[in-house]
Structure 1
């Protein structure tokens, strides 16, 4: 199984990101009120529903790209740029709006940024492997 994952790293990462994003969308749509209370006063249901809509689109994009036999390098670079923007945005929220968040909210945002950074790195590794395989 690990050899299949290694051989298809890009597809696996894109599909996993898509599934996770859709699950996050469902969770935010379904529990925006309780999650907002947990995160802090800045996390209103309207803002969380906006993030849920974004996650639904982001997840659908990742699933569409991940289902391709060889994921489009341009689409993967777009996903990497989106991940980088998410990390920068998370840091900005923590620095400039941290007083509107609970300690739990700050921890969740920081944890999400670290996870997104890890996924970004896996996408970069997968893109490099895909490029080397195409040249071989």
Structure 2
């Protein structure tokens, strides 16, 4: 299994990001009240439902790109830019709105930013491998 993932890292990480994003959307839609209570007063059900809708679209985009035999370079670059924007947004929220979050909320936002940064790096590595293979 790991050999197949390593052989096409870019495709694998796009598919994994898509599945994870769709799962996050389902959880946020289903549990917006309890999750909001955990995160803090800024995480209203409306805000969390907005994030859920975003995750549903983001996940569908990743699955569509990941299902391609060779994921589109421009689509992967768009995904990388989106991941970078998420990281910057997370840091901004932590810096400017920390008082409206619980300690658990701050921890969840920080953890999500680290995970997204890891996924971004895997996408960049996969894209680099693909471009090196195309040149060979």
CA distance in 2: counterparts of 1:73 and 1:60, whole angstroms: 17
Partner of 1:123: 123
Is 1:79 matched up with 2:83?
no
Partner of 2:17: 17
CA distance in 1: counterparts of 2:2 and 2:135, whole angstroms: 23
CA drift of 1:2 comes to 1.8
CA drift of 1:135 comes to 1.1
CA drift of 1:3 comes to 1.7
Partner of 2:91: 91
Partner of 1:43: 43
CA drift of 1:51 comes to 0.1
CA drift of 1:13 comes to 0.1
Q: TM-score, normalised by structure 1?
A: 0.99
Partner of 1:65: 65
CA drift of 1:69 comes to 0.3
CA drift of 1:4 comes to 1.1
- The C-alpha deviation readout for 1:82-133, integer Å capped at 9, x for no partner, is 0000000000000000000000000000000000000000000000001111
When the two structures are aligned, how many residues end up with a matched partner?
136
CA drift of 1:16 comes to 0.2
CA distance in 2: counterparts of 1:37 and 1:72, whole angstroms: 39
CA distance in 2: counterparts of 1:130 and 1:75, whole angstroms: 14
Unaligned stretches of 5+ residues in structure 1: none
CA drift of 1:28 comes to 0.1
